[in-house]
C-alpha cells in the first residue's frame, strides 16, 4: 500500500548524511532571502501572528468548482499550520503542459467564501481544497487533472478562499476578519483592497421572512474530496511559486498527513490539514482502488496521510524529474490521474534531495538520500482539531526560542516554515505540550515498527490501527463543539469510548450502509462499532463501497460535501448548504437538519411553518430551556462531584467520633459540604429564575434539591460508616 509510494531507498535508516542535508536545506530556506509565504491555519489557541505572509494558491477547480479556489478552514484547537516558503521567485511549476501557477486566467471572482461545513454539531471540518486551475481544467474522468484535493476536517473551522487573479497574488475571499481571531492569517502581498469588495458577502441567517442575500457559494469545501487523488497545491508569491503535488493521501481516521517533497530549490510547501479522511484502504490494493475512483471521500475524521511533493522546476514538464530509482512508481504530475492505480510520488525533475524523516518509531531517523525530503506533517483534524503526529515524534521541539536543528529533530517531527510568533519559532512549529503528552501516551502503546509512514491502518476507524501505522492520533478529551454554553453540543452523540472520536453508530438495516441514509457512509467513514446489519461499509466490501460512492457522486457530485457550511465559530455564519424542507416540525426538532446543526434556517430553506429563525419566540424558548438544562446539569454535576469528594475526605477528628468509634453525623457537614450544597441550591434557584418559574414552584424546586443534597450527604456518610479509620 502506502509503502509503495516511498522510494525504496528512502526507508533505509542510517544514512548519516541525510540529516545534514536536511538541515542544510532548512537552513537555506529559513535563512535565505527567500520570501516566506505563510499560510497559517492555526487554532486560536496558538498565538500565531502572521504577518505579511501571503499565500497564494492556485488551483484548480474540480468539476463542481469552476473557479480556482483554495479553501482553508481551521479548526479550533488544532494546530495546523500551512506554510509555504518560497525562496526562489521565479519558479513556476507547470502541470501538464500549462503552467499551473500562472495567474493569467482572468480573475475569477469568485465567489465566495466557501465554508466547509461540519456535518454536525461539534464536528468541524477543516479543509484545504485545491481545485485545479481553470486552464487546466479537464474532465475529471481524465485522470490527468486530478488536482482536486480536499483536506477536510475539523469542526468549526474557518475556511478561507483564495483565488488568483491576474495579479500575482490575489486573495479573493476572506472571511470576515475572524481569521485573525482564529490565528489564521492570509494576507496577500499585493492584494488590492478592492478585491475584497468583490467578494460575496455571506448573508446572515435569514430573518423570519427568510429574506436575505444568499451567498453564492460555488463549491463548499467538503469533507469529501476526491481523496487520495493526487492534487496539487501551488503557492505563488511575488518571489516565486511553490507547487506541491499531493501524491497520496491516505486516510485513516483523524489525521491528515502530508509528506512534502522539497524541491531542490529549497522551496518548501507544507500543507497540513486535518479532517475527515475517507476511509481509504488499509492495504495497497485498497489504496489503489481508492485512487481510481474519481472522487474519493476525503476524510473527515480520520487520519489522512498526504504526501505533498513540491515541484520546483520552472519547466513546464513536471513529470520529467521523476526519479525512478527512488520512486519506482512515480508518476508524472501531468499524467497523474485519479485512475492511476498506484499512487506515487511525483517529483519534479532535477536532483532533489530527499530526506525522509520516518514517522515510524524512533529508530529511523532519516534515511534515504534521495533528493526529496519527506517531512511528516502532523495535522490536526477531527472535530476538535486533533493533532495527529508520528508516534515517536517530537518531544523536544518545544523549547521555544530556538530553532531546532533539523538534524536533531526526531523522526516525524513537524516542521513548519512560518515566522509566526508564539510557539512557532523560525519555521518550526512547536507542538503544544498536551499533544506531546498524548503522543507519548500513545507511543507507549505503540509497537515500534519500521512501517512506512504512510502505511494505512487496516481499519481506518479502528483506533488501534493507528499505532501500527506509526502515526498516533492524538486524541484529546476536550472535545468541544463549536457551540459554547449557549449552544450546547449534542452530548448524546458521543458514543465512542474515551479516547476515540465521538461518533454515533448507525443502525442501518437495509441500505448496507452504502447509501447516504447511513450517516457513517455519508460522512465518508467506515462503519465502526455500529449496530448496522449487513454492512458493506467496511474494508471487506471495498469494491461495493467504491461503487456506491461513485453512484452517489453521480447522483450528486456534492454528495459528500458537508451539509453545513461553516462560518465563524458560533452559529453566526454557519448555514445549511442546501436548506431544509421541513413541513411539520417547525424546524425546531432534530428532524430538521438546520436545527440539528444548531443553526437557523436561511433563505434557501424551503421549510413550511418554520420557527427556526432568530426572532422566533419558540426558538428562543427552546434555546432557553436547553441552556438552562445544560447549565443545571453542569452545575449539579460539578457540585455533586465536589460534594462527594469533600465527603470522602472529611476530616475526622477524635472529637467527632462517638464512643462506638463512628463518626458523628455533624462531622459530615463540613464547610465545604455546606458550600457545595449551597451551590446546588443556588443553581436550582437560578434555573427557576431563568425559566420564570413561579416563586412557589421555585421554592419547591430548591427544597427538592436540598433533599437530594441531603441524601447525597447521607449516602456518602453511610459509606464511611463504621469505625473511623484515618
Partner DNA sequence: GAGTTTGAAACT
Partner DNA sequence: CAGTTTCAAACTC
Residues that bind Zn ion (CB under 5 A): 506, 508, 513, 518, 520, 527, 530, 532, 535, 537, 580, 582, 587, 592, 594, 601, 605, 607, 610, 612
Q: By CB under 7 A, tell whether 580 contacts DNA.
A: yes
**3-state SS track over 641-673:** HHHHHHHHCCCCCHHHECCCCCECHHHHCCHHH
Which of 584, 620, 653, 721 forms a contact with DNA (CB under 7 A)?
A: 584
Q: What's the CA angle centered on 447, arms 446 and 449, to 5 degrees?
A: 125
Nearer to Zn ion, 392 or 528 (CB): 528
578 binds, among DNA, Zn ion, none (CB under 5 to 8 A by kind): DNA
Nearer to Zn ion, 206 or 442 (CB): 206
Nearer to DNA, 230 or 565 (CB): 565
Nearer to DNA, 122 or 310 (CB): 122
Minimum distance of Zn ion from residue 479's CB (angstroms): 19
Rounded-to-integer distance, Cα 257 and Cα 274, Å: 8
Cell of 24: 542544510
Strands 35-39 and 82-86: antiparallel
610 binds, among Zn ion, DNA, none (CB under 5 to 8 A by kind): Zn ion
264 binds, among Zn ion, DNA, none (CB under 5 to 8 A by kind): none
Alpha helices for 492-605 (secondary structure H): 519-522, 542-555, 593-596
210 binds, among Zn ion, DNA, none (CB under 5 to 8 A by kind): none
Cell of 612: 427556526
Strands 241-253 and 302-311: antiparallel
Cell of 288: 489503489
Cell of 401: 526560542
Q: By CB under 7 A, tell whether 522 contacts DNA.
A: yes
Which of 88, 585, 667, 677 forms a contact with DNA (CB under 7 A)?
A: 585
601 binds, among Zn ion, DNA, none (CB under 5 to 8 A by kind): Zn ion
* Candidate ranges 98-106, 138-146, 443-451, 515-523; the one touching DNA (CB under 7 A): 515-523
Rounded-to-integer distance, Cα 151 and Cα 249, Å: 9
* Candidate ranges 190-198, 267-275, 549-557, 639-647; the one touching DNA (CB under 7 A): 549-557
Q: By CB under 7 A, tell whether 52 contacts DNA.
A: no
474 binds, among DNA, Zn ion, none (CB under 5 to 8 A by kind): none
Minimum distance of Zn ion from residue 515's CB (angstroms): 9
Minimum distance of Zn ion from residue 461's CB (angstroms): 9
**What SS3 class is residue 380?**
strand
In the DSSP assignment, the letter for residue 404 is P
Please give the torsion angle defined by the CA atoms of residues 443, 445, 451 and 457, in that order, rounded to the nearest 10 degrees. Answer: -110
Nearer to Zn ion, 20 or 572 (CB): 572
620 binds, among Zn ion, DNA, none (CB under 5 to 8 A by kind): none
Q: By CB under 7 A, tell whether 445 contacts DNA.
A: no
Q: By CB under 7 A, tell whether 519 contacts DNA.
A: yes
Q: What's the CA angle centered on 425, arms 43 and 14, to 5 degrees?
A: 105
Q: By CB under 7 A, tell whether 621 contacts DNA.
A: no
Q: By CB under 7 A, tell whether 600 contacts DNA.
A: no
Contacts of 112 (CB under 8 A, 6+ apart): 161, 172, 173, 199, 200, 202, 215, 216, 217, 218
DSSP-derived secondary structure for 470-507: TEEEPP-S----S--TTS---GGG--SPTTS---PPP-
In the DSSP assignment, the letter for residue 707 is H
Q: Are 650 and 720 in contact (CB under 8 A)?
A: yes
Minimum distance of DNA from residue 423's CB (angstroms): 38
Rounded-to-integer distance, Cα 260 and Cα 380, Å: 16
336: left (phi over 0), alpha (psi -120 to 50) or beta: beta
CA 666 to chain centre: 53
Q: By CB under 7 A, tell whether 510 contacts DNA.
A: yes
Q: By CB under 7 A, tell whether 553 contacts DNA.
A: no
Nearer to DNA, 92 or 597 (CB): 597
Minimum distance of DNA from residue 10's CB (angstroms): 41
Minimum distance of DNA from residue 630's CB (angstroms): 15
Q: By CB under 7 A, tell whether 581 contacts DNA.
A: yes
Which of 18, 518, 546, 673 forms a contact with DNA (CB under 7 A)?
A: 518
Which of 192, 450, 590, 718 forms a contact with DNA (CB under 7 A)?
A: 590
Nearer to Zn ion, 599 or 680 (CB): 599
Rounded-to-integer distance, Cα 13 and Cα 362, Å: 11
52 binds, among DNA, Zn ion, none (CB under 5 to 8 A by kind): none
Binding site for DNA (CB under 7 A): 504, 506-511, 513, 515-519, 522, 551-552, 555-556, 559, 563, 578, 580-585, 587, 589-593, 596
Amino acid at each position: 500500500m502506502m509503502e509503495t509510494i516511498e522510494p525504496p531507498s528512502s526507508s533505509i535508516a542510517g544514512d548519516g548524511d541525510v540529516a545534514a542535508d536536511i538541515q542544510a536545506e532548512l537552513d537555506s530556506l529559513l535563512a535565505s532571502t527567500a520570501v516566506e509565504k505563510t499560510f497559517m491555519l492555526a487554532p486560536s489557541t496558538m498565538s500565531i501572528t502572521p504577518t505579511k505572509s501571503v499565500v497564494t494558491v492556485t488551483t484548480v477547480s474540480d468539476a463542481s468548482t469552476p473557479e480556482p479556489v483554495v479553501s482553508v478552514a481551521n479548526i479550533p484547537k488544532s494546530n495546523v499550520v500551512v506554510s509555504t516558503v518560497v525562496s526562489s521567485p521565479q519558479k513556476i511549476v507547470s502541470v501538464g503542459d500549462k503552467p499551473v501557477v500562472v495567474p493569467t486566467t482572468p480573475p475569477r471572482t469568485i465567489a465566495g467564501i466557501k465554508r466547509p461545513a461540519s456535518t454536525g454539531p461539534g464536528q468541524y471540518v477543516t479543509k484545504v481544497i485545491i481545485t485545479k486551475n481553470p486552464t487546466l481544467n479537464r474532465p475529471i474522468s481524465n485522470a490527468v487533472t486530478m488536482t482536486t484535493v480536499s483536506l477536510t476536517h475539523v469542526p468549526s473551522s474557518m475556511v478561507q478562499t483564495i483565488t488568483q487573479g491576474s495579479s500575482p497574488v490575489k486573495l479573493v475571499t476572506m472571511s470576515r476578519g475572524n481569521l485573525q481571531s482564529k490565528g489564521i492569517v492570509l494576507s496577500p502581498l499585493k492584494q488590492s483592497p478592492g478585491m475584497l469588495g468583490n467578494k460575496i458577502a455571506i448573508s446572515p441567517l435569514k430573518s423570519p421572512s427568510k429574506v436575505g442575500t444568499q451567498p453564492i457559494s460555488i463549491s463548499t469545501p467538503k469533507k469529501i474530496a476526491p481523496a487520495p487523488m493526487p492534487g496539487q497545491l501551488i503557492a505563488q508569491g511575488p518571489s516565486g511559486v511553490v507547487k506541491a503535488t499531493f501524491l497520496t493521501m491516505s486516510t485513516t481516521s483523524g489525521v491528515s498527513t502530508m509528506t512534502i517533497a522539497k524541491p531542490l530549490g529549497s522551496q518548501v510547501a507544507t500543507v497540513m490539514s486535518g479532517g475527515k479522511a475517507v476511509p481509504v484502504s488499509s492495504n495497497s490494493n485498497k489504496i489503489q482502488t481508492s485512487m481510481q475512483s474519481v472522487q474519493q471521500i476525503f476524510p473527515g475524521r480520520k487520519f489522512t496521510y498526504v504526501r505533498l511533493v513540491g515541484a520546483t522546476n520552472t519547466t513546464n514538464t513536471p513529470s520529467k524529474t521523476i526519479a525512478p530509482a527512488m520512486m519506482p512508481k512515480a508518476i508524472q504530475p501531468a499524467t497523474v490521474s485519479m485512475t492511476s492505480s498506484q499512487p506515487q510520488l511525483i517529483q519534479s525533475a532535477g536532483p532533489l534531495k530527499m530526506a525522509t524523516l520516518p514517522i515510524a518509531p524512533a529508530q529511523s531517523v532519516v534515511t534515504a538520500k534521495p533528493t526529496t525530503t519527506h517531512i511528516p506533517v502532523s495535522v490536526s483534524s477531527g472535530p476538535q482539531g486533533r493533532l495527529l503526529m508520528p508516534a515517536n515524534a517530537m518531544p523536544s521541539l518545544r523549547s521555544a526560542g530556538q530553532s531546532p536543528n533539523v538534524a536533531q529533530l526526531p523522526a516525524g517531527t513537524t516542521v513548519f516554515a512560518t515566522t509566526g510568533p508564539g510557539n512557532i519559532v523560525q519555521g518550526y512549529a512547536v507542538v503544544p505540550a498536551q499533544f506531546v503528552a498524548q503522543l507519548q501516551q500513545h507511543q507507549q502503546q505503540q509497537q515500534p515498527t519500521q512501517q512506512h509512514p504512510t502505511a494505512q491502518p487496516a481499519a481506518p476507524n479502528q483506533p488501534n490501527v493507528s499505532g501500527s501505522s506509526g502515526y498516533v492520533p492524538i486524541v484529546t478529551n476536550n472535545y468541544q463543539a463549536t457551540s459554547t454554553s449557549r449552544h450546547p453540543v449534542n452530548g448524546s452523540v458521543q458514543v465512542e469510548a474515551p479516547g476515540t472520536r465521538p461518533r454515533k453508530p448507525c443502525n442501518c438495516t437495509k441500505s448496507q450502509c452504502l447509501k447516504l441514509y447511513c450517516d457513517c457512509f455519508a460522512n465518508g467513514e467506515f462503519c465502526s462499532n455500529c449496530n448496522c446489519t449487513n454492512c458493506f461499509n467496511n474494508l471487506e466490501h471495498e469494491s461495493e463501497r467504491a461503487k456506491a460512492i461513485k453512484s452517489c457522486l453521480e447522483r450528486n457530485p456534492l454528495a459528500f460535501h458537508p451539509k453545513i457550511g461553516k462560518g465563524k465559530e458560533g452559529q453566526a455564519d454557519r448555514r445549511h448548504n442546501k436548506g431544509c424542507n421541513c413541513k411539520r416540525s417547525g424546524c425546531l426538532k432534530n428532524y430538521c437538519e438546520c436545527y440539528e446543526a444548531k443553526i437557523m434556517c436561511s433563505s434557501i430553506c424551503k421549510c413550511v411553518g418554520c420557527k427556526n429563525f432568530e426572532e422566533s419566540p419558540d426558538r428562543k424558548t427552546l434555546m432557553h430551556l436547553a441552556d438552562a438544562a445544560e447549565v443545571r446539569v453542569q452545575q449539579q454535576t460539578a457540585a455533586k462531584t465536589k460534594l462527594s469528594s469533600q465527603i470522602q475526605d472529611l476530616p475526622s477528628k477524635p472529637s467527632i467520633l462517638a464512643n462506638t468509634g463512628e463518626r458523628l453525623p455533624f462531622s459530615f457537614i463540613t464547610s465545604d459540604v455546606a458550600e457545595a450544597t449551597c451551590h446546588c441550591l443556588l443553581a436550582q434557584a437560578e434555573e427557576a429564575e431563568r425559566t420564570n418559574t413561579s416563586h412557589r414552584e421555585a421554592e419547591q424546586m430548591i427544597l427538592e434539591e436540598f433533599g437530594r443534597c441531603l441524601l447525597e450527604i447521607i449516602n456518602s456518610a453511610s459509606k464511611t460508616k463504621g469505625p473511623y479509620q484515618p
